[in-house]
Each structure stands twice: as C-alpha cells, then as structure tokens.
Amino acid sequence: CYPGQAFQVPALPACRPLLRLQCNGSQVPEAVLRDCCQQLAHISEWCRCGALYSMLDSMYKEHGAQEGQAGTGAFPRCRREVVKLTAASITAVCRLPIVVDASGDGAYVCKDVAAYPDA
C-alpha cells in the first residue's frame, strides 16, 4: 500500500452490505459484521481508509449517483453526509486501528473518508 494507490473495484465486497444496513438504520446480522471486519483486517492499517473510500466511490458509480443527490442508488434512505460518516466509522465498528498520518499516529475513524467531498 502506498499513497494514491487504487484499489480493485469492487473494493471490500463484504463491507458493502454492512454499510447499506447501517446507513439505512437496519439491524446488522453478526455474520455480515464479522465478514466485513475479517476482510478489512487483511488490509494494512495504512490502507484501510483508502479501501473504504474506494468501496464507497465504486458503490456510487455503480448506481450512477450524481454529487449532491440523496435517496438514490445504493443508499435510498440515507443522505451522502451520513453515508460518508458511516463508511468512515466502519474501522471503529470493527475495532481495527488505522494510521492517520506519516508520524504513525493512530485512530479508529477514517477522517479522510468523512471529509472527502466527492465520495
């Protein structure tokens, strides 16, 4: 993993159902959570946020959603801001640390995913 690395689409296929369910306020089955967390755990701490961004970006592109649209495509009952914050918190839900900057400082919530304007 390195800065700017592109992830294969679809990135994190096991986390897509988790994001949809969480964002739409549905109960997340334990198996869905486990599968996503196991898949995310196989990605370096440095790359987890990038993988989540790539997953979110590909989900929007697959459904043809335009910037600023809400209630369409992959997340019919969820505003974009909520989708981004939900995706950014998946690492925390899984209790998987991330590295937030070159100093090696760690965290559990992906700030770059939540702040990314086009996701």
CATH of the domain at 101: 1.10.110.10
Would 84 be classed as within a structural domain?
A: yes
Range of the domain at 35: 14-115
Contact 38, 14 (CB under 8 A): yes
Contact 86, 32 (CB under 8 A): no
> Which residues face 106 on adjacent strands?
99
pLDDT-derived band at 62 (thresholds 50, 70, 90) equals confident
DSSP for 51-85 reads: HHHHHHHHHHHHTTPPTT--S-TT-TT--HHHHHH
> 29 or 74, which is more confident?
29
pLDDT at site 104: 59
Chain-wide mean pLDDT for the chain?
79
- CA torsion angle for 54, 13, 41, 98 (degrees, to 10)? 20
* Residue 46, pLDDT above cutoff 60: yes
pLDDT-derived band at 27 (thresholds 50, 70, 90) equals very high
Single-letter residue type at 80: R
Structural domains of the chain, count: 1
Would 74 be classed as within a structural domain?
A: yes
Would 111 be classed as within a structural domain?
A: yes
